[in-house]
Amino acid sequence: MTLTDIVDLSSDDELGEVDVKPVKLEPGLVGRKLQQNENNNAQLVKYQKSKTPCAIRESEENRSSNALSTGHSSSSILDQGQSPVDDTGLSYTSPLSPAPLCRQFWKAGNYNDGIGSKVTIQNGKNYLHVHPMFLHSNATSHKWAFGAIAELLDNAVDEIQNGATFVIVDKTSNPKDGSPALLIQDNGSGMDPEAMRRCMSFGFSDKKSKSAIGQYGNGFKTSTMRLGADVIVFSRHQDKRVLTQSIGLLSYTFLAQTGHDRIVVPMVDYEFNTSTETLEIMHGTEHFMSNLSMLLQWSPYSTEADLLKQFNDIGAHGTKVIIYNLWFSDDGNVELDFDTDSEDIRISGDTKKVNATSKWKTVNEEHIANRFHYSLRVYLSILYLRIPETFQIVLRGRVVEHHNIANDLKFPEFILYKPQMGGSVEGQVITTIGFLKEAPHVSFHGFNVYHKNRLILPFWQVVSYLDSRGRGVVGVLEANFVEPSHNKQDFEKTSLFQKLEARLKEMTWEYWDYHCGLIGYQVKKKLIPQVSSNRTPHSCVQQPVTLGQSSPAVGSKKAALGRFEQLVPNSQGRMKRKENGDIPLVKNVKAKLIDGRSQNVQLVNPTGNQLKDEEAVNLMQENKKLRAKYLEYEKKGEELNLKVTQLRSEIKELDDEYSRMMSELESLETVKEESGV
C-alpha cells in the first residue's frame, strides 16, 4: 500500500502500517447509472412526517486556528497519486494497543499506545505529528453536548446563502449493532472531494463572508468528537456540470484500537460521468480499494451498496453526517436521550431543578430559561436571533418554532451602547431590556448575547442579585464587536468584552431601580431627576406601557426623544448623560392612556406607599397631562375629520354642477350646428 491509500491529516510524514482487509467492488454499483432523487421538497415532507433519519452538512464552520499547525499546509493532505515528501528514511516505533475505548467521554482520552515513540529525522527535517488523542483533547472544549450540536447546525445556516432551505436533526441507528446514532442533514451546496478534505483537516476554512458564523476550521472535529467516538460524512456536490460524491470517516475507535500514532481519515470519491451516465471511482483503484476496506470495517455499513444508499435521500446536492458510538453519561446511559420525548432530544438525567416556592415552582421549572439546558428543541428555538422564512430546522420530524426572547419582556426599553477604545467608537449595539412576563414569580435574569445572529451566552447573569435587586430583568443584544471563543459558548475576555460586561451590570441595576415598582417591589431609593436648563422636571421612571412593534409614535419623534434621549440613571438615583454614548431609545409608542383602550397599554394601580413617593406623584401628574393632550388632539382630529367630510360633500356638489353644465354646453353646440345646416 502506498502513501496515497489514505488521507493522512497529521503531517507530511510517512503513513505507517494500516490494517486493510481485501474487498471486492460491488457489481453494478461503480459504473452503473446514478439514481438521484427528483424532488427535494418531497423529501423534506417525508422527513417531517415519517421522521426518516437525516444528517447535517459540515460546512467547514468554526474551524479554530490549530495551534499545532506548524508544517501543516495544504500539502499535508496527501494528494492522490503522489507523495509530497520522500519518506523512505522516516520510521516510527509504535506498538499496537487495541484496548477498548471507555464509553464515557471525559474518560475516553486515557489510553496508551506508545506516545513516547521515536521519530527518525530524515534529511535534517522533522515534521509535525498530530496524535489521535488530540481528537479527544480538542473536543473537550465543548463542556455541553448541545453546544456541539449547535456547531453542526451553524454549518447548515451558513449554507443558506448557497440555497439551503432546511437542516434535519434526528435519531438513527447503527445497522451493525442497533445502537443509537445522531443524524444531521442539509440541502446546501455540498462538498467536492477537496472541500471534504479541508473539512476533515484542522484550521482550514474557506468562509470569507463577514456574516458567516464559522471561521476557524475546527468546529466539525470538536463537535462530532464531543458527541460520539466516530463520524461518517456523505456529501454530494455539483459544479459546472460535474457531480461528485465523497465519503469520509473520522473514527477515534479505529485510530485507538489499531494503535495509530497519527490521525488518519479513510475517504473515497466518485464522479458522475455525464456521457455514460454512470458513477466512476476517482484517484485510482488501489487508493479507492484500500480506503473502502477501512470504511467497511469501521463504519456502520458493511457493503459498498449500503454506503451508496445513503445518497438516495440527499438529492442533487447536500451533506449528511452520522455520528455513532455516542458517548455515555456517568450513569451508564447514552448522553443524548432519544426516548423521553419522541419529538425532542434531551440530555440524559440533566433536568434542572430550581429553587422557588411551591406555588411558583412549576412556572420556574417550565420556563424557557430553565428548559434550554436539557431540551434541544427549546435551545434550537432561541439559537438564532433571526431565521429566514425560507429556512427550517426540523427536529425529529417536526419544525422547530423560532422564539424571540425580546417578545417575552414587559416594560421594555431600548438602549444604544457605543463602546470606545482609545477615543474611537468600536461598534454599537442596541440592547432590549425589560422584565420577564412572569416576573416577579420567576427567579431568572441575565442577558442573551448573540454574535452574528448566533446565541453565544443564554441568560448570562452579569450580576448576582442581593435582596432581589435585578431579579427578573432580562436583556437581548447582538454584540458583533466582540469575538466568541472557539466553542461559541463564551466570548474572548478582551477589554472590549469587559467594558460590555460592566455596562450590562449598570444597565441591570439602573433598570431595576427605576422600574421595580411596576411589578410590585417596594422602591427603596428616592430617584431625584436632574433638571437641565432646557427642560422641565419630570419623572425618570418610564411610563408603564408595553411597547409593541405595530404601535404608532406619540406625537412627533422629536417630542418622544425629548424625554428620554441620552438620559440614564446613575447609582445615586440621578439622571445623567452617559459619556460612552448610551441612549435609551423610545420607538413606536402609542400613548392611548384614555380609558386604557390600547392593547399595548398596561396601567398600574399604585399602592398607598407608591403614591407617597415623589416619583409616583410625578408620574400621575404627567399621565394627566398626556391625557389632556390626547383629548385635545382627539378633539382637533374629530374637527378635522368633520371638515374633510364637508369639503368632500362640497366637491361632489361642484362635480355634479360641472357635469350638468358640460351636458348643457354639449346640447347647445349640437343645436347650433343643426341651425347652421
- In this prediction the pTM is 0.68
Task: Give the pLDDT confidence score for residue 464 in this predicted structure.
Answer: 87
Per the CB < 8 A criterion, the answer to whether 469 and 395 are in contact is no
Task: Give the pLDDT confidence score for residue 672 in this predicted structure.
Answer: 67
- Domains within the chain, CATH numbers bracketed: 132-347 (3.30.565), 404-519 (3.30.230.10)
Please determine, for residue 37, whether its predicted confidence score (pLDDT) is greater than 50: no
pLDDT tens per residue, range 620-667 = 777 888 888 888 888 888 889 888 888 988 998 899 889 889 888 888
Task: Give the pLDDT confidence score for residue 525 in this predicted structure.
Answer: 63
CA 419 to chain centre: 24
Of these ranges, 60-69, 140-149, 451-460, 648-657, the one predicted with the greatest mean pLDDT is 451-460
Q: Cβ-count burial of 391 within 10 angstroms (0-12 exposed, 13-18 middle, 19+ buried)?
A: middle
Please determine, for residue 561, whether its predicted confidence score (pLDDT) is greater than 80: no
Task: Give the pLDDT confidence score for residue 621 in this predicted structure.
Answer: 77
Task: Give the pLDDT confidence score for residue 471 in this predicted structure.
Answer: 92
Helix (H), strand (E) at residue 140: none
Q: Is 264 or 88 the better-scoring residue by pLDDT?
A: 264
Q: Cβ-count burial of 358 within 10 angstroms (0-12 exposed, 13-18 middle, 19+ buried)?
A: exposed
pLDDT tens per residue, range 147-201 = 999 999 999 999 999 999 999 999 999 999 999 999 999 999 999 999 999 888 8
Task: Give the pLDDT confidence score for residue 634 in this predicted structure.
Answer: 84
Question: Helical H runs in 572-613?
Answer: 608-612
Q: In terms of Cα–Cα distance, which of 318, 324, 322 is closest to 307?
A: 322
Q: Dihedral of the CA atoms 460, 464, 466, 467 (nearest 10)?
A: 20
Task: Give the pLDDT confidence score for residue 613 in this predicted structure.
Answer: 57
Task: Give the pLDDT confidence score for residue 566 in this predicted structure.
Answer: 35
pLDDT grade for 407, boundaries at 50, 70 and 90? very high
Residues 533-553 have a mean pLDDT of 36
Please determine, for residue 394, whether its predicted confidence score (pLDDT) is greater than 50: yes
Task: Give the pLDDT confidence score for residue 342 in this predicted structure.
Answer: 96
Residues 342-359 have a mean pLDDT of 80
The C-alpha atoms of residue 78 and residue 291 are separated, in whole angstroms, by 13
Angle at the Cα of 223 (from 218 to 225), degrees rounded to 5?
A: 100
Exposure class string for 95-114: b at 16+ Cβ within 10 A, else e = eeeeeebebebeebbebebe
The C-alpha atoms of residue 603 and residue 612 are separated, in whole angstroms, by 18
Q: What percent of the chain has pLDDT over 70?
A: 63
Residues 13-35 have a mean pLDDT of 50
Per the CB < 8 A criterion, the answer to whether 582 and 428 are in contact is no
Please determine, for residue 608, whether its predicted confidence score (pLDDT) is greater than 60: no
Q: What percent of the chain has pLDDT over 90?
A: 43
Task: Give the pLDDT confidence score for residue 675 in this predicted structure.
Answer: 61
Task: Give the pLDDT confidence score for residue 404 in this predicted structure.
Answer: 97
Residues 467-480 have a mean pLDDT of 93
Task: Give the pLDDT confidence score for residue 52 in this predicted structure.
Answer: 38
pLDDT tens per residue, range 70-124 = 333 333 333 333 333 333 232 333 333 344 467 676 566 665 554 444 444 445 5
Task: Give the pLDDT confidence score for residue 625 in this predicted structure.
Answer: 83
Q: Look over the chain and give the mean of its residue pLDDT values, rounded to a whole number.
A: 74
Q: In terms of Cα–Cα distance, which of 374, 383, 377 is closest to 336?
A: 374
Please determine, for residue 306, whether its predicted confidence score (pLDDT) is greater than 70: yes
Task: Give the pLDDT confidence score for residue 497 in this predicted structure.
Answer: 95
CA 446 to chain centre: 19
Task: Give the pLDDT confidence score for residue 557 in this predicted structure.
Answer: 39
Q: Is 581 or 357 the better-scoring residue by pLDDT?
A: 357
pLDDT grade for 585, boundaries at 50, 70 and 90? low
